[in-house]
Amino acid sequence: MSVIRVALPLPLRQHFDYLLSSGQQIQIGCRVRVPFGKRELIGVAWQLDPPDHYPIPQLKPVISVIDADPVLDENLRQLLTFAAEYYHHPLGEVLTAALPALLREGKDLADYQQYAWQLTTAGTSATAADFKRSARQLALWQALQQGPVAAAELYGSHPQTAIKQLEAKGLIEKDVLPLAPFSERGLKQPALQLTADQALAVTAINHAAGRFQSLLLEGVTGSGKTEVYLQAIAPLLDAGRQVLVIVPEIGLTPQTLSRFQSRFQAPVLCWHSNLTNTERLHCWQHTHAGSAAIVIGTRSALFLPFASLGLIIIDEEHDQSLKQQDGFRYHARDLAIKRAAIEQCPILLGSATPSLESLYNCQQQRFVHLSLHNRAAGQAMPRYQLVDLKQQVLQFGLASQTLQYIKQQLQQGMQVMLFLNRRGFAPALSCQECGWLTECHRCSAFTTYHKQSRQLVCHHCGAIKAVPRQCGQCGSARLAPVGQGTEQLEENLQQLFPDIAITRLDRDTTRRKGALASALDSINQSGPRLILGTQMLAKGHHFPFVTLVVIVDVDGALYSSDFRAPEQLGQLLTQVAGRAGRGSNPGTVLLQTHYPEHVLLQDIIHNGYASFARSALLERQHTRLPPYQHLALFRAEALQSAHCQQWLTELADLAKTLPGLELLGPLSCPMEKRAGKYRWQLQLYSNQRPLLHQALNTLLIALQSWPLSRQLKWQLDVDPIDLS
Instruction: Tell me the pLDDT tens digit for each residue of 89-108.
Output: 999 999 988 999 999 999 99
Condensed to tens digits (0 to 9), the pLDDT of residues 75-93 reads 999 999 999 999 999 999 9
Tell me, what's the pLDDT at 257?
87
Q: Phi/psi zone of residue 579: left (φ > 0), alpha (ψ -120 to 50 degrees), beta?
A: alpha
Of 207-211, 278-282, 384-388, highest mean pLDDT = 207-211
Contact yes or no for 276/316 (Cβ under 8 A)? no
Spatial neighbors of 160 by CB under 8 A, at least 6 apart, are none
Q: Is residue 607's pLDDT more than 80? A: yes
Give the mean pLDDT of 219-236: 94
**Nearest alpha carbon to residue 354 among 534, 722, 608, 577:** 608
Q: Is residue 129's pLDDT more than 90? A: no
The CATH H-level superfamily of 630-718 is: Ribosomal protein S10 (3.30.70.600)
Tell me, what's the pLDDT at 658?
95
Give the mean pLDDT of 444-469: 84
Query: Is the link from the previous residue into 305 a cis peptide, with omega within 30 of 0?
Result: no
- How far is residue 636's CA from residue 655's CA, in Å, rounded to a whole number? 16
Detail the residues annotated as belonging to a binding site for Zn(2+).
431, 434, 440, 443, 458, 461, 471, 474
- How far is residue 722's CA from residue 724's CA, in Å, rounded to a whole number? 6
Contact yes or no for 578/382 (Cβ under 8 A)? yes
Give the mean pLDDT of 529-548: 84
- Residue 527's identity, in one-letter code, is G
Confidence of residue 116 (pLDDT cuts 50, 70, 90): confident
- Residue 371's identity, in one-letter code, is S
Tell me, what's the pLDDT at 484?
79
Tell me, what's the pLDDT at 724?
82
Tell me, what's the pLDDT at 701?
94
Give the mean pLDDT of 202-226: 95
The CATH H-level superfamily of 196-372 is: P-loop containing nucleotide triphosphate hydrolases (3.40.50.300)
Tell me, what's the pLDDT at 158?
85
Pick among 3.40.109.10, 3.40.50.300, 3.50.50.60, 3.40.50.880: CATH of 383-423+485-619: 3.40.50.300
Tell me, what's the pLDDT at 477?
86
Q: Is residue 556's pLDDT more than 90? A: no
* CATH architecture, domain 2-110: 3-Layer(aba) Sandwich (3.40)
Tell me, what's the pLDDT at 520?
80
Give the mean pLDDT of 164-177: 89
Confidence of residue 425 (pLDDT cuts 50, 70, 90): confident
* 173-187, 263-277, 303-317, 554-568: range with lowest mean pLDDT: 554-568
Give the mean pLDDT of 139-160: 82
- How far is residue 591's CA from residue 548's CA, in Å, rounded to a whole number? 11
Condensed to tens digits (0 to 9), the pLDDT of residues 641-682 reads 999 999 999 999 999 999 999 999 899 998 888 888 999 999
Tell me, what's the pLDDT at 241?
97
Q: Is residue 236's pLDDT more than 80? A: yes
Alpha-carbon torsion 243, 248, 249, 252, what sign?
Answer: negative
Q: Is residue 538's pLDDT more than 80? A: no
Tell me, what's the pLDDT at 584?
77
**Nearest alpha carbon to residue 329 among 700, 645, 634:** 634
Mean pLDDT score across all residues of the chain: 90
Detail the residues annotated as belonging to a binding site.
431, 434, 440, 443, 458, 461, 471, 474
- How far is residue 580's CA from residue 547's CA, in Å, rounded to a whole number? 5
Q: Is residue 618's pLDDT more than 80? A: yes
Q: Is residue 174's pLDDT more than 90? A: no
Tell me, what's the pLDDT at 614?
92
Contact yes or no for 548/592 (Cβ under 8 A)? no
Confidence of residue 479 (pLDDT cuts 50, 70, 90): confident
Give the mean pLDDT of 403-425: 89
Alpha-carbon torsion 174, 175, 181, 184, what sign?
Answer: negative
Alpha-carbon torsion 472, 476, 481, 483, what sign?
Answer: negative
Condensed to tens digits (0 to 9), the pLDDT of residues 341-373 reads 999 999 999 999 999 999 999 999 999 999 999
Query: Is the link from the previous residue into 468 a cis peptide, with omega within 30 of 0?
Result: no
- How far is residue 161's CA from residue 179's CA, in Å, rounded to a whole number? 27
Tell me, what's the pLDDT at 422?
80
Q: Is residue 397's pLDDT more than 90? A: no
Give the mean pLDDT of 425-448: 83
Confidence of residue 323 (pLDDT cuts 50, 70, 90): very high
Q: What percent of the chain has pLDDT over 90?
A: 57
Tell me, what's the pLDDT at 24?
85
Tell me, what's the pLDDT at 521?
80
Pick 250 or 61 by higher pLDDT: 61
Tell me, what's the pLDDT at 114?
82
